[in-house]
Each structure stands twice: as C-alpha cells, then as structure tokens.
C-alpha cells in the first residue's frame, strides 16, 4: 500500500468513526444502514489490506457502534451489549484523535487481554 493509499484509507476510517459516533443520536434506520454499508466497505478494504478476516470485520469498533444503533432502532436491547458498545466507542474516539490503525489494533488487543475469562 502506498503512503497516499494509506492516507486516504485512514481519512475514510476517521470519517466512519465520526459517523459511527454521531449516528448514535439518529432515529432513521434507513439512513443509519446506508451509512453502515459505506463504512463496511472501508472496513472490508482495510481488513483485506491487513490480511484480516470476518471476525476482525465483525468486531471492528465502527461496525459495533453501527450494529448497536441498528439493534436499538429495531427495539432490541441487552445489558451485555453495554461493555462491547463502550469499548467500541472509546476506540472510535481514539481513531478520530488521530491514532493509527495499528494503534487501534494494539488497544483492541490490550482490552481483550483485560477481559475476564
């Protein structure tokens, strides 16, 4: 990946992180899902470039936030979602502050190690 491609991908991911945070105030499922599809395309692109698979994409903080909002708008709720949501929100905020994808990966690994078994 060239530096230009990396920069473009990082800028797209920053935008998706901001969108994932802002969409938490949304009330229109249609709008949320359209934004979610666009974000998933970028997450898939990043996963492909990093050699990551389905589990990585499913647990990406941007996708967790979108999925939580979709679940909320659909009337679903589960208290066990709270920890996963909070973690994803923290990671998206970190990314919007300019922390790189590898830094986000490090934070994910640290948080996973801290999770009780």
Model confidence over 2-24: pLDDT tens digits?
Answer: 889 888 888 999 999 999 999 99
Which spans in the chain are helix H?
Answer: 3-22, 29-50, 54-58, 61-73, 81-96, 101-114
pLDDT given for residue 64 in this prediction: 93
* Count of beta carbons in the 10 Å neighbourhood of residue 49: 13
Q: What residue ranges of the chain have pLDDT lower than 50?
A: 117
3-state class (DSSP) for residue 60: coil
pLDDT given for residue 116 in this prediction: 56
**Considering the entire predicted model, what is its pTM?**
0.73
pLDDT given for residue 104 in this prediction: 62
């Amino acid at each position: 990946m060239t530096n230009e491609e990396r920069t473009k991908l990082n800028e797209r991911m920053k935008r998706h992180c901001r969108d994932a945070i802002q969409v938490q105030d949304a009330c229109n499922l249609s709008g949320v899902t359209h934004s979610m599809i666009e974000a998933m395309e970028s997450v898939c692109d990043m996963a492909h470039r990093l050699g990551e698979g389905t589990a990585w994409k499913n647990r990406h903080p941007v996708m967790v936030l979108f999925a939580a909002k979709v679940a909320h708008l659909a009337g679903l709720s589960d208290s066990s979602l709270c920890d996963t949501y909070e973690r994803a929100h923290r990671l998206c905020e970190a990314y919007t502050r300019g922390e790189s994808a590898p830094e986000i990966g490090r934070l994910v690994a640290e948080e996973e190690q801290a999770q009780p078994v």
